Amino acid sequence: MSTTPTTAQAGRPADAPRPATVLRGLLSPEGLDALDWTTWSEPGRAGVEAVRLYTTDGPSPATGLISRMGPGAHGDLHEHLGYEAMFVLQGELCDDSGARYTTGDLIVVEPGSVHQVSTETGCVVLGFRDAPTAPLS
């Protein structure tokens, strides 16, 4: 995802609303491979890459991201301090409760929920958090 301003963006006032960011082809491997993936390094997390779409400022920042988990990857054990919505774009995402979510599934996690996600085969997930999580491991 490019952050270099276009000619139209470079000439606008600093307080003007930013134009929309558009990521095309997210349901295809080619579209996903074209993203600027970075390794998501946190204790208890392995095999996960992410593309941060946005993070808000403030005491309880919201975040939008796309995460790609390789086969055998897992997240950390954490508690949700706010809502999270996850939409599986590809593959299968597993929850430590035994639930399995596949392509096209939308999962809404409530504040106070505790879980750890993983994947046996790999997956790509679009996620939005309205508050951060608290690691428990």
**Is residue 9 predicted with pLDDT exceeding 80?**
no
Give the pTM. Answer: 0.83
**Is residue 50 predicted with pLDDT exceeding 70?**
yes
pLDDT band with cut points at 50, 70 and 90 for residue 10: low
pLDDT band with cut points at 50, 70 and 90 for residue 15: confident
Spatial contact of 136 and 75, defined as CB atoms under 8 Å apart: no
Tens-place pLDDT, residues 27-43: 888 999 999 999 998 88
Can you point out the beta strands (E) in 1-137? 38-39, 46-55, 63-74, 78-80, 84-95, 100-102, 106-109, 114-115, 117-118, 123-129, 133-135
